[in-house]
Structure 1
Amino acid sequence: MKLRIKSTKTTILILGIYQIVGALLGFYIIASILLKTGEINGALLLIYLVAVGLYSLSFKAGSLLIRKQHKRGLLLSMLNQTIQIFAVGVGAYTYNFISGGRLGGGVEFTNGFEMNMDVALTSRFSFAWNSGEEYYLYINLLAVFLIYVCIDIYEELFKKDKAVSITEIEPRSEIHA
Structure 2
Amino acid sequence: MQRIDKQIKALGIYQIVGGIIGIILIMYFAGKASIFNISILKITLLFLALYSFSIYCGFLLLNKNYTRGFNLSIFNQALQIISFSVLGFTFQYASGIYLSFGLNLTTDTLITYNSGLTAFNYKINSDPEVAAFSLNIIALILINFFFNLKEKIIRQKDELSEIGQS
Aligned equivalent of 1:86, options 70, 75, 82: 82
Aligned equivalent of 2:52, options 45, 52, 56: 56
Q: What aligned pairs does 1:1-177 form with structure 2 within 5 A after superposition?
A: 7-120=3-116, 122-133=117-128, 134-158=130-154
Partner SS, residue 107 of structure 2? coil
Identify the range of structure 1 (132-141 vs 6-15) with the bigger mean alpha-carbon deviation. 6-15
4+ residue segments displaced more than 4 Å: 159-162
Structure 1 unpaired stretches of 5+: 1-5, 163-177
Structure 2 unpaired stretches of 5+: 159-166
Q: TM-score, normalised by structure 1?
A: 0.82
Q: Distance in 2 between matches of 1:111 and 1:31?
A: 35
Q: How well do the aligned residues superpose, as a CA RMSD in angstroms?
A: 1.8
Structure with the larger helix share: 2
Q: Distance in 2 between matches of 1:43 and 1:22?
A: 25
Q: Deviations over 1:29-50 (max 9, x none)?
A: 1011111123421111111111
Q: Distance in 1 between matches of 2:74 and 2:35?
A: 36
Q: Distance in 2 between matches of 1:69 and 1:42?
A: 37
Identify the range of structure 1 (87-96 vs 104-113) with the bigger mean alpha-carbon deviation. 104-113
Give the length in aligned residue pairs. Answer: 156
Partner SS, residue 108 of structure 2? coil
Structure number with bigger Rg: 1
Q: TM-score, normalised by structure 2?
A: 0.87
